[in-house]
Amino acid sequence: MRTARIKIYDDDAVYHCISRTVNGERLFDEDAKEMLRRQMWQIADYCGVTILTYAIMENHFHILVSVPKKTPVTDDELLRRYRILYPKPTRFQTASLAAVESLLKAGGPDAEAWRKQQLALMSDVSAFMKLLKQRFTIWFNKTHDRFGTLWAERFKSVLVQPKSRVVRVMAAYIDLNPVRAGLVDDPKDYRFCGYSEAVAGRRIAQAGLVHVMGDEHARTWKSAHECYRVMIIGSGAKPRADKASVTEELLEETMRAGGKLPLPVVLRCRIRYFTNGAVLGGKAFVARQCTLYCRKTGLRRRKEPHPLPPACDWGESGTEELAALRSPRRQARA
């Protein structure tokens, strides 16, 4: 039985979303990754969500997205977003821009129905991901002369506490995907991730990472970059080959001995709490989201937050330790 997704409806929310190809097939070449990247930014603008960072791989992609709570949207803004979604008229388009403008000017039930239809696709992580995956599937199947499903299942999501430290750790974990896959030593050298796009000078990508770092650490891209790079590379100017990864055995041995490793080293491991944890944040935040979810769905069984393994100092000094709602079978894997 499919369970309801854990969401925040009455406030801004941050989600880490993951979607994989059917059978995990490595289908995405450079052209496919580029198209998915373009559609991702286009549809985020239409849906009114903010992409903080992302990583597109050969058989899956990750997106860290900030979703604002639903607020009224003016007709002018709706038309602007409609132009974003339909930059060129097509025979599949439900209504041309001129027709929509006339409809809104006339008012009445038809205009209200159109507004309601558009607003249903905005400020909602499920609508954003559904629209993105549907649009990309249409392009991919047409381009590669194939039909049928492209994605293995519905997307996975982790609700992330919108607290700067938690979001920063998740963003760094996502940008380090190509490093964990052994494709590059430095994520700036991998074209299809948010950090690389920001380093290349794309302002919208830079704005996402400035948002990630938070006002207390950075108000400009330069200062945000300096702080963020320390998280993903370490205090050195360049990544060191002998410190680029850590084995699962070493990580487990370090935790058994009560020791800790630097955060940039630990983030180069595959940490399933970040993809399968359902909710990630401080213990109080995770417990509250579990309580609200049980009330909404009628579930009686409650789960206690699972603290992340003490492999490093996840939080800043004096802050609450990080926890997840679900405990994956394997805590970390190199």
Query: Quick one: average pLDDT of 128-147?
Result: 95
Query: Quick one: average pLDDT of 67-88?
Result: 90
Any idea what the Cα angle at residue 231 is, between residues 226 and 233, rounded to 5°?
85
Please state which architecture CATH assigns to domain 13-70+127-333: 2-Layer Sandwich (3.30)
- Which among 160, 173, 191, 158 is positioned nearest to 228, based on CA atoms? 173
- Which among 227, 116, 226 is positioned nearest to 167, based on CA atoms? 227
What is the DSSP code (8-state) at residue 321? P
Query: Quick one: average pLDDT of 316-321?
Result: 58
Where exactly are the structural domains of the chain?
13-70+127-333, 75-121
Any idea what the Cα angle at residue 43 is, between residues 39 and 49, rounded to 5°?
130
Please give the model's pTM, rounded to 2 decimal places: 0.90
What sign results for the dihedral spanned by CA atoms 41, 46, 50, 54? negative
Query: Quick one: average pLDDT of 42-68?
Result: 97
Is residue 53 a contact partner of residue 194, using CB atoms and an 8 Å limit? yes
With cut-offs at 50, 70 and 90, classify the pLDDT of residue 334: very low
Is residue 161 a contact partner of residue 281, using CB atoms and an 8 Å limit? yes
What is the DSSP code (8-state) at residue 121? T
Answer with the residue of higher pLDDT: 314 or 205. 205
How many C-beta neighbours within 10 Å does residue 66 have?
20
- Report residue 154 as tokens: 């519905």
